[in-house]
Amino acid sequence: MSAPTGPARASLRLSLSSLRAHKRRFAGTFLAVFLGVAFLAGTMVMGDTLRASFDTLFANANSGTAVVVRSADVVTVPGEGQGTREPVDTALVTRLRSVPGVAAVAPAIEGAGQLVGRDGEPVGGQGPPTLAGNWIDDAGLNPYVLAEGRAPRTSGEAVVNRAAAEKGGLGLGDTTVLRTPDPLRVTIVGLVTFGGEDGMGQSTFTGLTRADAERRLMPAPGRASTIKVRADSGVGQEELARRVAGVVPHGVEAVTGQQAADENLDQVSGRFLSLFTTLLTVFAGIALLVATFSIHNTFAIVVAQRTRENALLRALGASRRQVLGSTLAEAVAVGLAASAAGLLGGIGIAAGLQALFPAVGFPFPEGELVVGATAMAVPLGVGLLVCAGSAVLPAVRAGRTAPLAALRETAVDHSGASRGRALLGAVLAAAGAAATVAGAAGTPQVWLTSAGAALVVVAFVVLGPVASSYAVRVLGAPLARLRGVTGALARRNALRSPKRTAATATALMIGVAVVSLFTVFGASLKATMDRTVDRSFAGDVAVTASGFGAGAGGLSPKLAPAVGRLPEVATAVGLGKGVAEVDGGGRQLTVTDPVALTRVLDLGAVDGSLSGLGRDGIAVSRQEADKHHWAPGSTMVLAFADGARRRFTVRAVYQEAGLGGDYIVTRTAWEPHKVQDSDALVAVAFKDGVAPDDGRAAVQEAARGYGNPEVQTRQEYAESAASGVDIMLTLVYALLALAVLIALLGIANTLTLSVHERTRELGLLRAVGQTRSQLRSMVRWESVLVAAFGTAGGLALGAFLGWALVKASDSAGTSAFAVPPGRLAVVLLVGLVAGVLAGWRPARRAARLDVLRAIAAE
């Protein structure tokens, strides 16, 4: 292909010179692309760095373990990690020592253990596991290394990871409590590290003597979670695993140490890191989507302002293709420069996050930043695509400029909304709303709801120019009365180009819609929890363990009977957790006294009887019963982690699952299959006439001897259960701040270009007596009107999509929909304030125009 000549070369030179001469024109576009690309690149670099760091950490910690012997049977409940396995017999240790190639063998015991700090509060938890286990003397098989002190030798001695000790204010020689879940008084004799690190996130580890670990963490002495094997020099893991597999009994398997380490790593990186990076990537995508609208609007205005310029090129011989190419060349140049700068910014963001995490209590493994080719190529490509794609339609419009347009004044976009656009938008809105409602109401259909929601968003964009005319008239009506001529002019300026107003506000609308969606969804989650507690919890106080998930220490099963013996208490029932496979899938079982449970929990209407469950009876919720076509008298097979398969009879079907869960069995039925028995909750009802404060104080005193767990009222329990929602919303707001910032840059950029476009008009206003203050106020109020339109549209869209998300994710039909007026009012206020801030610089620039030069400007 030959190099461009004549008009084409002139067009290219003109595009480059235009970029140099009007750098401010594209400043907003550059910054929008830069921020989006930097966020995306930083996310990818941070994800790669964390994966590599954890990979190195686990490799170092487990490098000496060649083979892991464990139970072959596992029950995995969705969302509960690697699953539950039956412990293995430690008598295997003697047999394994005789296998050729084995250098050392050690039983490894691991369970939940919550360490209590100096202030009486639990250390760690709230998601990351709090672990306890036996101290392994063989350094090659022990992933933990003594950093200070010594190993535990006698009962009651313990070592803890150094980060947990620091967080709990504990040191060598200090005595504290370890909830296993029965409280164990321990003296700290050593501080340890894992793979050279003081801790792994918020996880904690407490190492005990083997005897203490067996007694506290295993169902019986002589049992261990796994048995670790170290190989002789020159013996490979695969070979040794085959040899060991030949001597272990049925139901026990031998896997390589690398496989076991990879599974542990997958639990961290596959669940947490994937969720972490996916969340950040989604918000980076939202930021870039918002940037797309801002960039498109910028190029649309620039092309409109350069109508005469493009027409002169056409008159000099440039083809439509060459004019189109020159406009796209500007977009690519801006996109390339902004994306390249964004890559550097992303590396800086990743480095900042790496330094920030330890400061806020998340000591992730140290390591060099991993800057891979993919982490650089993808954000660069996305940045170029966003910038060039946003400029395509304006570039096509520029290419269609007629040569005769050179004889006209500079074009200003006065276009409104066509009837065709209004009709198309109405059809899309109706179809989208119908599909969303159909997918969310009745039996939830996520795919139909998602498709409908996407159509609704498209309809909002299409209908923007139509809606802006009416919305600005309504929103701006008070301005004429409150601000006089200044307010009236601001309103007329915002109405001047409905397409431009809508395009400018759409970027903000998308950001506000996502904020509103999560706000409504979070409020609905909290309302659902409140309703669940109100409906099902008939007790007075709840005793709860800090933390949740498989790693939480839980409550001692002895606590409920102890509380039940108090003179103030009528009923105290512990709710434990078990796991089993039901119909091929892992399910959680609630382990409790079913008859006493009905005195503190409302299970609704019950078909059958809860009093006769015994060893082989089970109660199921109405939802699960309907799903599997069960009724009282039906039978099912439960497969437990110990390999046992037992037939259970459905003796009761209850209406409300709530806090009771979907499956209820007695402690007698669970006893043969338990590993580390604990309760997640103790529900307490006081006797008639007992004052709430007196009853609570008595329960707190009784619970103090069991690790001092928290005693909460029903309202406090509901708020505590929903506390994670506020944490989630805080994170969401922080991440979406970037998208809102980019939207505000778009508003500011549009106003700046609009001021340039209206230079002569503004000069005439100043010439006829408008003051600088009035001019600044006019531009600022115009910005506020645009922001108000975008914010109001975003609130409406977000509330509707939030409702759809709540209903579509509610397969059980138990969720409550709630709209938090206070939080949404704050979002509205922030949007209006943001409009003022976005208009500050353009308003200042407009007020500084020289009157005579402005009047003379073309």
Q: What is the DSSP string of 13-26?
A: HHHHHHHHHTGGGG
CA proximity to 732, closest of 96, 53, 279, 104: 279
pLDDT of residue 1: 42
pLDDT in tens, 776-785: 888 888 888 8
Mean of pLDDT values over 778-795 = 86
Q: Is pLDDT of 409 > 60? A: no
Indicate the SS3 state at residue 206. strand
CA proximity to 367, closest of 601, 78, 51: 51
CA proximity to 680, closest of 813, 760, 747, 588: 588
CA 362 to chain centre: 16
**Which residues fall within 8 angstroms of residue 31, CB to CB, at 6 or more apart?**
338, 742, 745
Out of 45-59, 141-155, 476-490, the most confident range is: 141-155
**Which residues fall within 8 angstroms of residue 619, CB to CB, at 6 or more apart?**
594, 606, 608, 610, 613, 650, 651, 652, 653, 654, 663, 664, 665
pLDDT of residue 551: 40
For residue 280, give Cα distances in angstroms to 71, 272, 287, 350, 734: 37, 12, 10, 12, 11
Q: What letters, b where the CB count within 10 A reaches 16 and e where it falls short, cover 226-249? A: bbbbbbeeebebebbbebbeeebe
Q: Is pLDDT of 448 > 60? A: yes
What's the CA gap between 459 and 430, in Å, rounded? 9
Q: Is pLDDT of 550 > 50? A: no
Q: What letters, b where the CB count within 10 A reaches 16 and e where it falls short, cover 84-107? A: bbbbbebebbeebeebebbbbbbb
Residues β-bridged to residue 149: 190
Indicate the SS3 state at residue 577. strand
Confidence band of 412 (pLDDT split at 50, 70, 90): very low
- CA-CA-CA-CA dihedral for 183, 188, 189, 194, to nearest 10: 100
What average pLDDT is seen over the chain?
Answer: 82
**Which residues fall within 8 angstroms of residue 717, CB to CB, at 6 or more apart?**
533, 537, 542, 544
pLDDT in tens, 98-129: 999 999 999 999 988 888 888 888 887 555 67
pLDDT of residue 549: 40
Phi, psi (rounded to 5 degrees) for 369: -60, 135
What's the CA gap between 727 and 721, in Å, rounded? 12
What's the CA gap between 580 and 643, in Å, rounded? 10
pLDDT of residue 306: 67
pLDDT of residue 24: 61
What the block records as the tokens of 247 is: 């001597």
Residue with tokens 């670990």, as numbered in its chain: 213
266: which DSSP letter?
Answer: I
**Which residues fall within 8 angstroms of residue 359, CB to CB, at 6 or more apart?**
none
Q: Kind and range of the H or E element at 672? A: none
For the chain, the distance separating the N- and C-terminal CA atoms, rounded to the nearest angstrom, is 40
pLDDT of residue 411: 47
Higher pLDDT, 142 or 808: 142
Q: What is the amino acid identity at position 574?
A: G
**DSSP output for 237-264:** HHHHHHHHHTTSPTTEEEEEHHHHHHHH
What's the CA gap between 469 and 498, in Å, rounded? 6
DSSP E strand stretches across 517-640: 541-544, 569-582, 585-591, 606-608, 617-621, 635-639
CA proximity to 464, closest of 426, 506, 415, 494: 506
Q: pTM of the entire structure?
A: 0.76
42 burial (CB, 10 Å; 0-12 / 13-18 / 19+) is buried
Higher pLDDT, 833 or 851: 833
What the block records as the tokens of 151 is: 């190993």
Higher pLDDT, 96 or 675: 96
Indicate the SS3 state at residue 139. coil
CA proximity to 804, closest of 532, 535, 530, 516: 516
pLDDT in tens, 504-533: 788 788 888 888 888 898 888 888 888 878
Longest dimension (CA), the chain: 103
For residue 284, give Cα distances in angstroms to 48, 335, 382, 506, 634: 16, 16, 11, 17, 51
Out of 227-236, 409-418, 707-716, the most confident range is: 227-236
What's the CA gap between 335 and 341, in Å, rounded? 10
Residue with tokens 């009802």, as numbered in its chain: 685
Cis peptide before 842, with omega less than 30 degrees from 0?
A: no
pLDDT of residue 710: 87
pLDDT of residue 308: 65
What the block records as the tokens of 128 is: 């990351």
Residues β-bridged to residue 575: 681
Task: Average the pLDDT over each of 206-215, 253-262, 389-398, 651-660 and give the range with the smallest value.
Answer: 389-398
pLDDT of residue 126: 53
Q: Is pLDDT of 134 > 90? A: yes
Q: Across the chain, how many H-helices and E-strands are there?
A: 25, 26
Q: Is the dihedral of CA 288, 290, 291, 296 positive or negative?
A: positive
Count how many Cα atoms sit within 13 Å of the Cα of residue 498 in the half-sphere of its side chain. 19
What's the CA gap between 107 and 68, in Å, rounded? 10
Q: How many residues does the chain have?
A: 858
